[in-house]
Structure 1
């Protein structure tokens, strides 16, 4: 016999048939005996369990009577002894004892590092639970929670799953003080490629523990937080999306796709909607080590394809970088050195754009392979078309049974007749997976035989319809239409209204709040649950999404069944809701709530773009407001260039003059429309308009975008002070702008003071972007003073914020800064590690100029540690990389000097002189800072045999460095260097010269 008490009492006979123990008291008695299966239970405890605080006068006799009835009714062996009553049964026959054994063994396996066995044991144990433990047995719920945490930890160690995030969040909602759960959530989010959210969870845990318990997070949780801060830099999306259902069949198709991809670099899965192309592509990509999935269905035109791929890759545009850099070029740079499978899903509505992007990438990136899904082939050279067939009879029936069990847990195909009925259903549906899933959802109310009969009648009627359509298309449409007709009026109405939301992409669908506000249906939870159960919606992590095939069908019903006025009101309501959301988010993006609101807007990108396009046509002034509120999000998110075309269209729709009261919004739109050369008129229009505003700006980040576009000197404009006003974030921002101005003017002390003020302001508001930028500069100044330890503290804190913001370019810059500090302190090996990590990030981000910067840093580390051969290799790689991109003169000069110093160390003096001469020519023929000229002057001084000339050069270097602070690991303090290099009689003269020379006094040797 088997017994279940982890839920309603369940007793099963040897043949697995259910047995009834009787009324409430026999059930209570059996439950208490089962809790101590195989052990004696005292009469007092049993009486207390049966009667509570009001036992009968003859309680002992009543208990004996109940035990006797239980023996006879179920045939149980219950022994009586001096210690009480003992139910003779093996503990493993009782689910609670089996669960405890599996949980204990699972924990032991976890402790020994056998994660696969731990996961299997814990999954098996937790599957025994059918409901929460009774209120009088809280210990069991505690054991269950511990097992759930152990199982999640094992799953994470095995690679994790996106579903773990939602599961852990649910556990935290029930156990808000569970510190281990916060750690598991941090790890799950980090594993899912959502590092900013992972780090925000630590802050959430700290706040909850302080408010509820008055304590700080444990050392273990703090150590995990530090580990994630220092860990590998995250990407936006890793691999392919997690799926909500089990993958069934298609073994042969997966093998065929693998074989095709081994020989061809572009494979396109073709077939009508509903054949399972998307799911097949996802499963084919799941086994790949480096794969990127891109959903194209939400895109309105092909111009957005490169940006969609960049976003999926986790490549973002640095805030300081140019907005107008060509997205396709950036994409090529990010992929040209990677062996990656790119999955482009749902290409059919953008077939020309998809073909163009695929052609460029395949021609430029030799390690790239593309797996596309489309209703038609892309039609480019080298493409291999792979039609996706319907499911064979066996897998089709298996899929039906799998999905049927999801809606009816007790479903199981019994007997030849029922198996035959399932086969008839799948045959009628042409083996189309989507059609089969929709049909299986009807088993809540129909038997398989009824379903088969109704489908047969349905298709006999439909066969008289449009025979010009492809048979599978007719079949799919028929089953969608049939499922539609089985919805009640409220469900149909909501399904129609849900089509106003962008569809099935990662940023598609809608939250419950959005559905209620936009669709005008109060408390829609039950309707949404019903549509989800009937496969019209997918629900995941608080969002409801429609499969694209169903969305298209429901949109047709919206056109047919809902009046034009209602349809227009829906689009208006959708745009208005997201306008309010953007306005609510805007100030939070600059404060302590920055990370969750970045994530919230990221999940709504598709809907926000759709709202902006609607305003573009219907209400351009509201479009200006929405674009203004989103401008800072786009910059922080990293791909502002994606919205340049929209900004230009919006400016054309508004006209040449700003609407009254929207001058700032109009100027921001103009700034967003600036791509680069050729946009001087738009930039000048924005500059003039902002220059006329003498009030506090509604959006203080306007000053940032303004100065990025026209130059940091704008921060000196007195009008800007009035525009910033008393806003604390704006004042901190103004201090940053002025700090850079003082730095460029050669006044480091004043600059450092301003960056210190800025950091204090950004700490007050909680803005990570501002803190990272301020700490970066303060770390540089500490390094220049020789305070290496302090510099590393500041830069490490900045790195933490950059990683929270998922900003790989800024992270690469900071790692290079950190590497430079380590060089100055003599930690060459550690410095090389930081430069190498920076190079990897920059390479993945498609920024060759930053790759070059990291490479010359690695060259410096190798040269200073004595490995000149490796140094030369790094310098040459940096020079080659810099030749393919924009690159600063100062960095190129540094590479030339590095190559010269390597040549000198290896005894090739003529080659060294040649590199130094090239560095001098470049540094004096371009706009360079004094630091670069000082470096060249010092290198040339080391090569001259004329003391007077050396004194002049070194004196000039001293003057130039006097405008800055020494930051070069090759340079010892000037006085010591002069004493070593020059005869005593010229030392004094050189030092005197150094006090009088200025930048324009430096001349060629």
Structure 2
């Protein structure tokens, strides 16, 4: 688990997924604990930090409540001690502590390059102002100020290191921005003057000093410090020179004696400090170290940086210009400036003679095309020259005894972004990654697999294209990144050239498997590769491809980087094998889905869902291919994939592919696939001709037996329907089944009828309890959670706090086991709604906030809407009518899909806005709102919603003084819902006014007339 304080307070799981912490108070508590991560924080300090020196009454109980919620959200990462509480994590898991550790190490480092890298890593941890979203907490201001001060100090130290490295030109823009933000920091002023002067902008440097002098006088009433005056004087005298770049390790006259000076680098070294440290340690204990990795991963640059840090003599032999089959020993001799004498005809003998007895590091760069010869030479030299060490770079290991291998992987996300920013600023001065372009830059880096060469080529395109355009065009990454450095070897100038070079080193069998592997979108296990690619010796070939960095091995799966996969896919097309192997791929994953289908609705569902999880990209790819090539296969894949999505709480994923598939199908339904077609229609959440066709098929055929999940999908996406007896037909089909899962679903359907159409509270509890029993008998978690969530509603209606808590926690545990984030969000909203009735507005707010965060993360639009409405309702009940109105109207402004759920929401928002209007004294506007809500509610077939509208209208009549009509409408609400809600404060106020005006008997009589009215009589009454 990781925690972030350098920006908004955040928490992340070990896999990088964010954790919803909760409201502002919970985030402040987490920040307090994280500032002392791993140490006990006394209770008194927590109370003072959260509530101030004069805390509110009952602060100890309030703290215990907050701790309990935080423990629940963080899965018990907070530990209780008699003296206080402790966040059970290492300090390195908190970005603020990691920042301070890197800052210390960076300042202590001797070499400016190392200082710059470490301090840059420290600064890269910042995501915004420290503790940005908890600044109102009493403790936060001082802690944030301390961290911000340290941040600017570290920034100045990093700039100093960069100035020592001669990076004056690239620092000017950054320094100008920093001076504008911190105008009285003299060290920044001095650094700006030095950077301007060394960049040839002497006049601007002198102007910068005058600006500093004037600002210090105006703001602080002081003169510039002696240090700043000294910098100014040196500029006036022409003595302010850039420091000489540090010399690379080497010996004068090395060309004559068997060594070469390492080339000076023209760009900064970004993102590989950890790799550099590890390679340095390997070179201390091993005599042969080989850096392996795909083309463009940055092996050469890492090798040069590692060699530069090694004391003593270094020799560099670049083999990329050597033809395949060329004489490696002769090439090394030439690169080292040595010649073969007349008595030494063998170049290898000459090398041994030249290097024997010398302490030297020999860098053999780009060995992959001559790997056998390079391995033979390295073995001979190391055997004959005991003080020699070899650092090699190759796309595959040399494969000799004593070799230590360091794989050079693509850059991870944050480091890839830093590299892009650095290289983009070089071609577009002033470019910086910020909240406006971060998503595009991350998209670019992901599309390019974090390969440094590809990122640098993409950054170079900012000369002519905006970053958003580069991100949009990267579907053709190999084509877009077609320009590189003119001075690089031809095979290193473009991304395509790099991959093409790797391809040319493969034999025919390796090329055949490499192109066929491209049908796998998310990697694959060995069994899938053998079945789909038709390659009996796949293990050996995959090992060879992995050795040559064309394939990555992740656990027990093999995957290609996207850039390599795109190139090899072109070769698949050239070979005329696209149809054959995409069909084999789709068939394999359809068979996997068919095998999984019955298990997904039983106790073993976790095991089977876990088997499908790593295959999700492949399943989507199979569906995408089948939509365009085989509609029958596409329908089969979609139907079974929908069950997996439903189980994992990712139902919204299917909407777009369902609509695409239906558009491709046209009016024809493949024979024998009527059930699959109906699932596709339900998942599309659209009406029209397909909806009518599906309903016709479902009336005429028993589709439930083959596709039991169909009934659930239909109810979830389309909503209840009683037209033409359709609902009765479907329930008859369900009742005829002896499958316990379908029987459980039958009781779910009956429970919803009791809830939506009958106002039968006892029936709701009875039917969902029976459904729960059926699902428990199967061990089917999502069915159990679905039944529990409705029992939770009844417990909240009745004010049964203990039962409410017990049921909702079990439901959350079950969907948590499934990893169903969308369902967790729904259940949090359900808990929030219950907490509103039970009177805990703070807990409701926290639940809605967490639900909104989860729903946004997984793209669950209905979940986001429900959570937004919940937050608006809490604001309304707290009396913040302006905030409530804003949130409700924001939801109404969103584009509507016309789904059943959205129709219900629109009515509920109308009722809430009517209550807001009434509270503001706008009686007629409130009446118009409630009447419009009633008209809409008649079409959505939900008695609880109608009940809420009737109660909203009662509020309007109460304000008009028509208390008899208000009491009657309150009775209507009870009759429609089956009960009154004891925690409904709006209704309670209307009841109080009506009773006061009518007397107890008059109120009771009017109320009783209302409970007896039917929906038709109510409509006529209005």
Q: Structure 1-normalised TM-score?
A: 0.52
Once the two structures are superposed, residues 133-161 of structure 1 have per-residue CA deviations (whole angstroms, 9 ceiling, x without a partner) of xxxxxxxxxxxxxxxxxxxxxxx56889x
Structure 2 partner of 1:882:
892
Answer whether contact 2:954 2:970 (CA < 8 A) is retained: yes
In the TM superposition, what is the alpha-carbon distance from 1:811 to its structure 2 partner? Answer: 3.3
Answer whether contact 1:824 1:968 (CA < 8 A) is retained: yes
| Match 1:518 to one of 500, 514, 532 | 532
Q: How do residues 197-276 of structure 1 correspond to structure 2 at under 5 angstroms?
A: none
Q: Do residues 538 (structure 1) and 548 (structure 2) align?
A: no
Q: Which runs of 5+ in 2 are unaligned?
A: 6-10, 21-67, 79-92, 95-111, 129-262, 290-305, 325-364, 381-389, 395-481, 897-901, 939-944
Once the two structures are superposed, residues 857-912 of structure 1 have per-residue CA deviations (whole angstroms, 9 ceiling, x without a partner) of 45654665xx53x3543344333443445563432244234425644xxxxxxx25
Structure 2 partner of 1:61:
none
| Match 1:739 to one of 746, 751, 770 | 751
Q: How do residues 368-379 of structure 1 correspond to structure 2 at under 5 angstroms?
A: none
Q: How do residues 54-453 of structure 1 correspond to structure 2 at under 5 angstroms?
A: 156=1, 189=14, 191-192=16-17, 287=125, 289=127, 410-411=287-288, 419-423=314-318, 425=320, 445-447=375-377
In the TM superposition, what is the alpha-carbon distance from 1:527 to its structure 2 partner? Answer: 4.0
| Match 1:823 to one of 832, 836, 855 | 836
Determine the C-alpha separation between the residues in 2 that align with 1:651 and 1:757: 36
SS in 2 for 1:745: helix
Once the two structures are superposed, residues 149-204 of structure 1 have per-residue CA deviations (whole angstroms, 9 ceiling, x without a partner) of xxxxxxx56889xxxxxxxxxxxxxxxxxxxxxxxxx9965654699xxxxxxxxx
Determine the C-alpha separation between the residues in 1 that align with 2:628 and 2:792: 48
Structure 1 partner of 2:931:
921
Structure 2 partner of 1:837:
850
In the TM superposition, what is the alpha-carbon distance from 1:521 to its structure 2 partner? Answer: 4.2
Structure 1 partner of 2:697:
689
In the TM superposition, what is the alpha-carbon distance from 1:780 to its structure 2 partner? Answer: 0.7
Answer whether contact 2:367 2:392 (CA < 8 A) is retained: no
In the TM superposition, what is the alpha-carbon distance from 1:701 to its structure 2 partner? Answer: 0.9
In the TM superposition, what is the alpha-carbon distance from 1:615 to its structure 2 partner? Answer: 4.1
SS in 2 for 1:890: helix
Q: Do residues 758 (structure 1) and 771 (structure 2) align?
A: yes
Structure 2 partner of 1:621:
632
Answer whether contact 2:913 2:929 (CA < 8 A) is retained: yes
In the TM superposition, what is the alpha-carbon distance from 1:509 to its structure 2 partner? Answer: 1.6
Determine the C-alpha separation between the residues in 1 that align with 2:883 and 2:268: 59
Q: Do residues 580 (structure 1) and 580 (structure 2) align?
A: no
Structure 2 partner of 1:778:
791
In the TM superposition, what is the alpha-carbon distance from 1:475 to its structure 2 partner? Answer: 1.0
Q: Do residues 896 (structure 1) and 896 (structure 2) align?
A: no
Determine the C-alpha separation between the residues in 1 that align with 2:890 and 2:660: 40
Q: How do residues 885-964 of structure 1 correspond to structure 2 at under 5 angstroms?
A: 885-886=895-896, 888-900=905-917, 902-903=919-920, 911-914=921-924, 916-928=926-938, 929-945=945-961, 948-949=964-965, 951-962=967-978
Q: How do residues 444-463 of structure 1 correspond to structure 2 at under 5 angstroms?
A: 445-447=375-377
Structure 1 partner of 2:299:
none
Answer whether contact 1:671 1:682 (CA < 8 A) is retained: no
Moved more, 969-978 or 691-700: 969-978
Determine the C-alpha separation between the residues in 2 that align with 1:514 and 1:669: 27
Answer whether contact 1:853 1:891 (CA < 8 A) is retained: no
Determine the C-alpha separation between the residues in 1 that align with 2:662 and 2:287: 60
In the TM superposition, what is the alpha-carbon distance from 1:950 to its structure 2 partner? Answer: 5.0
In the TM superposition, what is the alpha-carbon distance from 1:659 to its structure 2 partner? Answer: 4.3
In the TM superposition, what is the alpha-carbon distance from 1:814 to its structure 2 partner? Answer: 2.7
SS in 2 for 1:689: helix
SS in 2 for 1:499: helix
Q: How do residues 460-609 of structure 1 correspond to structure 2 at under 5 angstroms?
A: 474-476=490-492, 487=506, 491-502=510-521, 508-522=522-536, 524-555=538-569, 564=576, 569-609=580-620
Determine the C-alpha separation between the residues in 2 that align with 1:480 and 1:924: 65
Once the two structures are superposed, residues 88-134 of structure 1 have per-residue CA deviations (whole angstroms, 9 ceiling, x without a partner) of xxxxxxxxxxxxxxxxxxxxxxxxxxxxxxxxxxxxxxxxxxxxxxx
In the TM superposition, what is the alpha-carbon distance from 1:538 to its structure 2 partner? Answer: 1.3
SS in 1 for 2:553: strand
In the TM superposition, what is the alpha-carbon distance from 1:779 to its structure 2 partner? Answer: 0.7
Answer whether contact 2:318 2:366 (CA < 8 A) is retained: no
In the TM superposition, what is the alpha-carbon distance from 1:544 to its structure 2 partner? Answer: 1.4
Identify if the C-alpha distance between structure 1 residues 227 and 831 changes in structure 2 by more than 3 Å, giving closer, same or farther: closer
Determine the C-alpha separation between the residues in 2 that align with 1:822 and 1:829: 9
Of structures 1 and 2, the one with the larger relative CO (CA 8 A, separation 6+) is 1
Q: Which runs of 5+ in 1 are unaligned?
A: 1-155, 161-185, 196-221, 233-237, 240-250, 260-282, 291-388, 430-434, 456-467, 503-507, 904-910
Pairs aligned (count) = 625
Identify if the C-alpha distance between structure 1 residues 394 and 548 changes in structure 2 by more than 3 Å, giving closer, same or farther: same
Structure 2 partner of 1:176:
none
Q: How do residues 667-706 of structure 1 correspond to structure 2 at under 5 angstroms?
A: 667-671=678-682, 674=684, 676=686, 680-694=688-702, 697-706=705-714
Structure 1 partner of 2:806:
793
Determine the C-alpha separation between the residues in 2 that align with 1:409 and 1:724: 73
Structure 1 partner of 2:25:
none
Determine the C-alpha separation between the residues in 1 that align with 2:123 and 2:626: 38
RMSD over aligned Cα, in angstroms? 5.4
SS in 2 for 1:931: helix
In the TM superposition, what is the alpha-carbon distance from 1:998 to its structure 2 partner? Answer: 3.8
Determine the C-alpha separation between the residues in 2 that align with 1:615 and 1:992: 61
Determine the C-alpha separation between the residues in 1 that align with 2:618 and 2:1010: 62
Q: Do residues 993 (structure 1) and 1009 (structure 2) align?
A: yes
Identify if the C-alpha distance between structure 1 residues 394 and 926 changes in structure 2 by more than 3 Å, giving closer, same or farther: closer
Moved more, 648-657 or 710-719: 648-657
Once the two structures are superposed, residues 356-383 of structure 1 have per-residue CA deviations (whole angstroms, 9 ceiling, x without a partner) of xxxxxxxxxxxxxxxxxxxxxxxxxxxx
In the TM superposition, what is the alpha-carbon distance from 1:401 to its structure 2 partner? Answer: 11
Structure 2 partner of 1:717:
729
Identify if the C-alpha distance between structure 1 residues 991 and 627 changes in structure 2 by more than 3 Å, giving closer, same or farther: closer
Determine the C-alpha separation between the residues in 2 that align with 1:884 and 1:453: 58
Identify if the C-alpha distance between structure 1 residues 284 and 845 changes in structure 2 by more than 3 Å, giving closer, same or farther: farther
Answer whether contact 2:911 2:930 (CA < 8 A) is retained: no
SS in 2 for 1:445: helix
Structure 1 partner of 2:53:
none
Identify if the C-alpha distance between structure 1 residues 530 and 159 changes in structure 2 by more than 3 Å, giving closer, same or farther: farther
SS in 2 for 1:779: helix
Determine the C-alpha separation between the residues in 2 that align with 1:231 and 1:586: 36
Answer whether contact 1:769 1:801 (CA < 8 A) is retained: yes
In the TM superposition, what is the alpha-carbon distance from 1:581 to its structure 2 partner? Answer: 1.4
Answer whether contact 1:752 1:778 (CA < 8 A) is retained: yes
